[in-house]
Amino acid sequence: MSLLLAASLLLRAVAIPLLARVAWLDFTTQKISNRDVLLLLCLGLGALQLVSVLTGSWWDMGLSALGGLLLLVVLFPFWILRKVGAGDVKLMAAMPFLIGGDGLVVFTVFLLVFAVAIVVLVKNPFVLPAGAFRLYVQHMDRKGVVPFGVPISAAAICTIALEIYHAILVATSSGILEQLN
C-alpha cells in the first residue's frame, strides 16, 4: 500500500470519532455544529487531495464536489420548509468529500438502511427495550424532530470502515501474491 493511500485512509479514519460525536450530539440535542461539519469537510478534502495526487486524476475530487453541490441544492428547499435541519443539510453536503466519489453508492445504500431504521424507531418507540429511552424517543416524535445526523454519520462510518477493510485486504493479498512469486 502506498504511503499516500495510507495517509488518505488515516484521514478518513480520524473522521470516525468525529462522526460518532456528531451522531451523539444530534441525537441528544438535535444540533450539528458548523465546526464539526467544517472539520469533516477538511478531512475529506485532505484525503481526496492525497488520492488525486496518487492517481494523477482529479475525477474523484470533481465528482465529490458535484455531489456535495447537488445535495446542498436539493436539500436546501427541505430546510426552508423545516423538514430537515440546517446542520443535516450541511452534513450531507460534506459527505461526498469525506467518502469520495467511488464510495458514494455504498454510502447511499447504508444511508437508506440507517434512515429507515431511525424513522421506524422514532415512529414505533414500543420496540425499544428501555423505558427511559422509549420516553425520550416519544418526546422527539411529539416534537416532530428526527435526528437525521445519526443515520448520516452511521452510514459514513460504515462506508469508511468498509473502505479501510477493503484497502487492507487488497494490500495483504497483493503482499501474499508477491511473496508467492
Per-residue confidence in pLDDT tens, the chain, 181 aa: 588 888 988 999 999 999 999 998 987 788 899 999 999 999 999 999 998 888 888 888 888 999 999 999 999 999 999 888 899 999 999 999 999 888 899 999 999 999 888 777 777 666 666 664 655 665 565 566 678 899 999 999 999 999 999 988 888 887 654 554 5
* Cα distance between residue 158 and residue 179, in whole Å: 31
Cell of 52: 488525486
Return left, alpha or beta for 104; rule: phi > 0 is left, psi -120 to 50 is alpha, else beta: alpha
pLDDT for 5: 85
Query: What pLDDT does 130 receive?
Result: 64
pLDDT score at 144: 61
Cell reading at 102: 467511488
Q: What amino acid occupies position 8?
A: S
pLDDT of residue 139: 58
Distance CA 91, CA 27 (A): 14
Q: How many residues does the chain have?
A: 181
Question: Got the DSSP string for 88-109?
Answer: HHHHHHHHHHHH-GGGHHHHHH
pTM, rounded to two decimals: 0.86
Nearest to 71 by CA among 46, 51, 48, 90: 90
